[in-house]
Amino acid sequence: MLGEDLYRLLAPKFELPRIQYGSRIHEVHIGNTTPHGTRAYGIILGGVSNLPLFDGRERTPARPHIAMQIHTSPDDIPASVSEALGDLLDNPIKWARFCARECGAEAVQLKFNLPTRTLSDRNLDEFRELARQLAREVDIPLLFSGSDLVETDPQILEAVAFATKGERVLLASARLGNDYSRIAKAAIDNQHVVLASTDCDPPSQKMLNERLLEIGLPPDQIVIDPTTAALGYGLEYSLSIAEQIRLNALKGDRSLQMPIVAFPANSWTAREATIEDSGYGNLYSRGLIWELTTALTMTLAGAELLIMLHPDSVKRFKTFMKEQGFTEPSVTKKNSQD
Amino acid sequence: MAFAAAILAGTAKLEDCPYITEEERTRIEELIAAPVMKLTFGTRKPLSIGGARVMHRHELKFYNPTAIAFKATDAQGEEEVEAATKRSLELRVERLGENFGIDAIAIASDSGKAETFSRAAGQIMRITDLPIILCCSRPEILEAGLQACGTEKPLIFAAEKGTLESYIELATDHHAPLTVAHGDLGELRLMAKKASDASLDVALCPVSQSLAEALEKCITIRRAAIAHKIREFGHPIITVPPSLIKVSKTTQESLWHESLLTSALLFRYADAAILENAEIEQMLPIITLRHGVFSDPRVPAKVKPGLYRLGKAGPDSPVLMTVNYALTYYLVSGDIDKAKVDCFLLVAETEGMSVLNALAGGQLRAETVADLVKQINLNAAVNHRKIIIPGLAARLRGEIEELTGWEILVGPAESRDIPLFLNRNAS
């Protein structure tokens, strides 16, 4: 055995050299306070130069921002979530206020559902009006998404973009399969941010981002969603793809240097989160853990904005992260520059 | 060259090369050795942990899934030890036809009495063949526990700075692997070096106050081993997720805390986690995540081809067809669930390719479907003669009809439109 002295030499405070990638992720703000917007604050995404917690103690780890999902028609909401929301399901505005005040969500995401898969002029007018009303009634940053339909999403998002001009909302989503240039142009004209969504495929994400940049959408008006699969339904692919995209971005791939958005709300599509089965234990607890596990692991893979659904998982996530040494995410305050 | 690449990818073994000399073999083995050593404990049902080669799953794959251990305590009497251990052993989680349960049993010397600890360890040895982790902080108690385990080679958890020398001696005498624990990574490195200089198999426990701190330490340890080749950190990491839980929690609260903490740690390099609960709602997410994270990203995830009965499907229920790529299967079966229509799902073998890829690659042909219909005797399962195929496979319609004599209906191209399709056609 070596002498004690030689061991001592190894003992002083251990640190590794910092990983220097040379690039960082664009800083993207959602929600305008002044001069054109009426939000109480804006959320700040990006600006990072490493994977979360790979920096040692140099950067205090922050929890991601949380945007709670609101639906215009609650058909897709699983029973365990709708029980927790009750009457709020029938009133998107009240639902949004509840998210902001009771659950402490940093933002809300309004999803325009089209149960019949067709969009009438009346639908479009209603959606436009609802977006305006939402902007009047709540003062936190807003996200709007279509119904995941190729034909109608660009039309809806364009209408909403004009109706909320200057508020710097997030429009979701531009996809390779839809008329993404229409969404990008509406975002440019009205100073909004676009969510670029692809299906678990990094080359597609790169292609879509490049096209959005070519159209003239500035990089600080793009955030990306490389798909969040539910736990048990391919979450590991989402985790690997988010890491892969983030590492390529840090190593210099300019078309991928955008903040990542994850959708833990998608966990509610998993059987395990929603079915009553005596062999699976307590349903309420199980559903929440399903959404929370997706939220936490996607955070570690680099997501900075989480779209969540169940009020209790949002509350639990916030408390949990605080207890476990994560700081609050950063925001722009009113009267500061946007 | 191709052989060398296969060796690096872990798909070929050095023993398969007939030309290599003994000396060359030793040298190459050193070169390709995993930067994180593998540690095996238990003899009746040995369990291996460690062996990591990469920081990120997409770079290769993760080896040796994080071991989940249930911790019993010797403080509440023999009956309680037996009841708790047996209960934890009953836990079963099924994923894609595979069954999972607890991987190891830990016993904690909360009583502070050597005799009690030794009795509890012996008792667990009689109840199960699973490998054992001895959790205690005093050498004289550890010795009693090790004696009770005989030749079982339990994992010792854990030597602290003050007990290191005596623990190294005991571990050597009983041929048991040793965990060293410290909150400071410099000290931990020193302790690991002393233990491995004594020719012991070593595991590391970076003691932490919060999840953020624990993750940072696990990441630093793994980076040190893999990127910086610092050998003292090239050992498996043992974590105790419940020790990170703040303030006192009710049982239901500690369940979800344990679950989340364990999931985060298993994603970030924990090779074992010692838990205080073994309830299904807490364990199901952990094991589901582990199954995914430790799956090989180079191999498409597959489900078994055949006929799946969804809900309470009977002779009059519709039959839908899809392929055996796991993500496609999950998506389709999930959307059928949403439709709340009981169905049969016919899953064709496409070597784990999605519908589009399998059509392009030739894994999905009319014959594939026709053979499957015959093989599983679909005639006997339903009264009607109709199969709904994916919209993307519409061009196979005529040929399948010819080969099977069944009526082929073309379903939606997108899985998410299945509920709409089923409900429209049901009414």
CB contact under 8 A, B417 and A288: no
Residue of A100, A111, A127 lying closest to A71 (CA atoms): A111
Bridging pattern class, strands B93-95 and B98-100: antiparallel
Q: What is the pLDDT of residue A297?
A: 98
Closest partner residue to A269 among B213, B256, B334, by Cβ? B334
Do the beta carbons of residue A155 and residue A193 sit within 8 Å?
A: no
Do the beta carbons of residue B216 and residue B185 sit within 8 Å?
A: no
Do the beta carbons of residue A260 and residue A226 sit within 8 Å?
A: yes
Query: What's the whole-number average pLDDT of chain B?
Result: 92
Closest partner residue to B330 among A7, A233, A285, by Cβ? A233
**How is the beta sheet containing B343-348 ordered, strand by strand?**
B306-310, B343-348, B319-323, B386-389, B407-410
Helix axes B418-426, B326-339, angle to 10 degrees: 40
- Distance, in Å, from the CA atom of B145 to the CA atom of B149, rounded to the nearest integer, reads 6
Q: Give B193's contacts in chain A (Cβ within 8 Å).
A: 2, 7, 10
Q: What is the pLDDT of residue B374?
A: 94
Closest partner residue to A285 among B184, B193, B281, by Cβ? B281
Here the tokens at position B307 are 């006929």
Q: Give A229's contacts in chain B (Cβ within 8 Å).
A: 327
Q: What is the pLDDT of residue A1?
A: 47
CB contact under 8 A, A236 and B57: yes
Phi/psi-derived region of residue B76, left when phi > 0, alpha when psi is between -120 and 50, beta in every other case: alpha
Residue A122 distance to chain B (closest CA, Å): 22
Q: Give A240's contacts in chain B (Cβ within 8 Å).
A: 56-58, 297
DSSP-based helix, strand, coil % in chain A, nearest 5: 45, 15, 40
Q: Give B198's contacts in chain A (Cβ within 8 Å).
A: 1
Q: Is the pLDDT of residue A337 over 50?
A: no
pTM given for the model: 0.90
Top-confidence residue, A81 or B98:
A81
Convert B213-225 into a string of H (helix), E (strand) and C (coil).
HHHHHHHHHHHHH
Phi/psi-derived region of residue B25, left when phi > 0, alpha when psi is between -120 and 50, beta in every other case: alpha
Q: What is the pLDDT of residue B409?
A: 95
Q: Is the pLDDT of residue A336 over 80?
A: no
Amino acid at A41: Y
Do the beta carbons of residue B203 and residue B270 sit within 8 Å?
A: no
Provide ipTM, 2 decimals. Answer: 0.94
List beta partners, residue B134.
B107, B156
- Distance, in Å, from the CA atom of B20 to the CA atom of B371, rounded to the nearest integer, reads 47
What lies within 8 Å, CB to CB, of A122 at 6+ separation is none
- Distance, in Å, from the CA atom of B427 to the CA atom of B424, rounded to the nearest integer, reads 6
DSSP state of A230: P
Here the tokens at position B364 are 């999905």
CB contact under 8 A, B58 and A243: yes
Top-confidence residue, A34 or A256:
A256
Residue B405 distance to chain A (closest CA, Å): 34
* Mean of pLDDT values over A129-146: 97
Q: What is the pLDDT of residue B138?
A: 97
Q: Give the max Cα distance, chain B.
A: 79
User: Helix or strand or coil: residue B82?
Assistant: helix
List beta partners, residue A225.
A197
Residue of chain B whose Cα is closest to the Cα of A1: B197
Amino acid at A81: V
Q: Give A2's contacts in chain B (Cβ within 8 Å).
A: 193, 197
Residue B44 distance to chain A (closest CA, Å): 29
Place of tokens 């082929």: B408
Helix (H) or strand (E) holding A259: none
Q: What is the pLDDT of residue A10?
A: 59
Q: What is the pLDDT of residue B401?
A: 95
- Distance, in Å, from the CA atom of B223 to the CA atom of B234, rounded to the nearest integer, reads 10
Here the tokens at position A124 are 């479009």
Do the beta carbons of residue B164 and residue B191 sit within 8 Å?
A: yes
Vertex B233 angle, CA B228 and B237, to 5° = 130
DSSP letter for each residue of A50-78: SSTTTTTTSS--BPPEEEEEEESSGGG--
- Distance, in Å, from the CA atom of A281 to the CA atom of A91, rounded to the nearest integer, reads 32
Domains and CATH numbers, chain A: 40-333 (3.20.20.20)
Residue of A188, A207, A182, A187 lying closest to A197 (CA atoms): A207
Q: What is the pLDDT of residue A333?
A: 85
Q: Give B420's contacts in chain A (Cβ within 8 Å).
A: 117
- Distance, in Å, from the CA atom of A54 to the CA atom of A247, rounded to the nearest integer, reads 12
Q: What is the pLDDT of residues B361-405, one digit of tens each?
A: 999 999 999 999 999 999 999 999 999 999 999 999 999 999 999
Give A145's Cβ-side CA count (13 Å radius): 21
Closest partner residue to A2 among B197, B301, B327, by Cβ? B197
Q: What is the pLDDT of residue A338?
A: 41
pLDDT-derived band at A313, boundaries 50, 70, 90: very high
User: Helix or strand or coil: residue A157?
Assistant: helix
Q: What is the pLDDT of residue B28?
A: 77
Place of tokens 């009795």: B119
List beta partners, residue A193.
A170
- Distance, in Å, from the CA atom of B255 to the CA atom of B240, rounded to the nearest integer, reads 14
Q: Give the max Cα distance, chain A.
A: 83
Q: What is the pLDDT of residues A47-74, one digit of tens each?
A: 999 999 998 766 778 999 999 999 999 8
Question: With a cut of 70, which residues of chain B have pLDDT below it?
Answer: 10, 97, 426-427
Residue of A262, A197, A184, A194 lying closest to A230 (CA atoms): A262
Q: What is the pLDDT of residue A3?
A: 57
CB contact under 8 A, B263 and A297: yes
Q: What is the pLDDT of residue A335?
A: 59
Q: What is the pLDDT of residue B112?
A: 95
- Distance, in Å, from the CA atom of A330 to the CA atom of B356, rounded to the nearest integer, reads 43
Q: Give A323's contacts in chain B (Cβ within 8 Å).
A: 210, 246-247
Residue A254 distance to chain B (closest CA, Å): 21
Place of tokens 């992720």: A25
Q: What is the pLDDT of residues A245-264, one digit of tens each?
A: 999 999 999 999 999 999 99
Closest partner residue to A14 among B185, B193, B247, by Cβ? B185
Cα Rg, chain A, nearest whole Å:
21
CB contact under 8 A, A289 and B281: yes
Alpha helix positions (H), chain A: 4-10, 79-85, 92-101, 121-137, 153-163, 180-190, 202-215, 235-250, 271-274, 283-300, 311-323
Q: What is the pLDDT of residue A12?
A: 62
Backbone angles phi, psi at B249, to 5 degrees: -120, 155
